[in-house]
């Protein structure tokens, strides 16, 4: 029999599938009571007044005596008693990550600058090699006194070999 049929026939009972078990009602009532008791400390007032010495006093109980009292709605205490410590630990971890990232960025910038210098050096050395191989007449070195000493063919070949070895060791391509 449908709900509509039972209502029209004068029987005012819910179908068995719509009935709520007593255990479910008790469970909901217990949860509501726990929530109400947990929220009770949040409703506690904080009082502020100035004592006889001129100090500002904060308390959860009103003062005794004739003081001008101001009730302050304080925020509820943290649910986690270690929340402040955990927050400080997280902030320290974030700060440490920032420092590591800054160090990595500095290393990357230094590496980039060094690679630029190395490319420049490689270009200069390759230019010297090309110059030594193409124009043998204009090659000289300065001695200890600063005088020009022109290079002969064997000295020039040795110098080209040294420069080519340096390029092989220090230049990628």
What are the residue boundaries of the structural domains of the chain, listed by start?
A: 1-43, 44-77, 83-170
pLDDT number for residue 91: 94
Phi, psi of 144 (to 5 degrees): -65, -30
pLDDT number for residue 6: 47
Distance CA 10, CA 151 (A): 125
Residues of the chain whose pLDDT is less than 50?
1, 3, 6-7
Phi, psi of 70 (to 5 degrees): -120, 125
Residues in the chain: 173
pLDDT number for residue 129: 85
Distance CA 35, CA 32 (A): 5
pLDDT number for residue 152: 80
Q: What pTM did the predictor assign?
A: 0.39
Distance CA 61, CA 2 (A): 61
pLDDT number for residue 36: 62
Secondary structure of the chain in the HEC alphabet? CCHHHHHHCCCCCCCHHHCCCHHHHHHHHHHHHHHHHHHHHHHCCEEEEECCCCCEEEECCCCCCCCCCEEECCCCCCCCCCHHHHHHHHHHHHHHHHHHHHHHHHHHHHHHHHHHHHHHHHHHHHHHHHHHHHCHHHCEEECCCCCEEECCHHHHHHHHHHHHHHHHHHCCC
pLDDT number for residue 71: 79
């Amino acid at each position: 029999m449908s709900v509509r049929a039972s209502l029209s026939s004068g029987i005012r009972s819910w179908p068995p599938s719509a009935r709520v078990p007593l255990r479910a009602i008790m469970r909901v009532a217990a949860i509501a009571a726990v929530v109400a008791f947990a929220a009770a400390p949040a409703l506690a007032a904080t009082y502020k007044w100035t004592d006889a010495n001129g100090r500002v006093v904060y308390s959860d109980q009103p003062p005794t005596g004739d003081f001008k009292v101001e009730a302050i709605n304080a925020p509820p205490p943290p649910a986690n008693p270690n929340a402040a410590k955990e927050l400080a630990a997280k902030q320290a971890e974030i700060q440490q990550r920032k420092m590591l990232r800054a160090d990595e960025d500095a290393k990357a910038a230094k590496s980039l600058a060094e690679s630029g210098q190395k490319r420049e050096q490689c270009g200069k050395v390759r230019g010297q090699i090309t110059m030594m191989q193409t124009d043998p007449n204009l090659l000289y070195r300065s001695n200890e006194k600063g005088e020009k000493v022109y290079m002969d063919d064997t000295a020039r070949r040795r110098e080209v070999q040294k420069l080519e070895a340096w390029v092989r060791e220090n230049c990628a391509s």
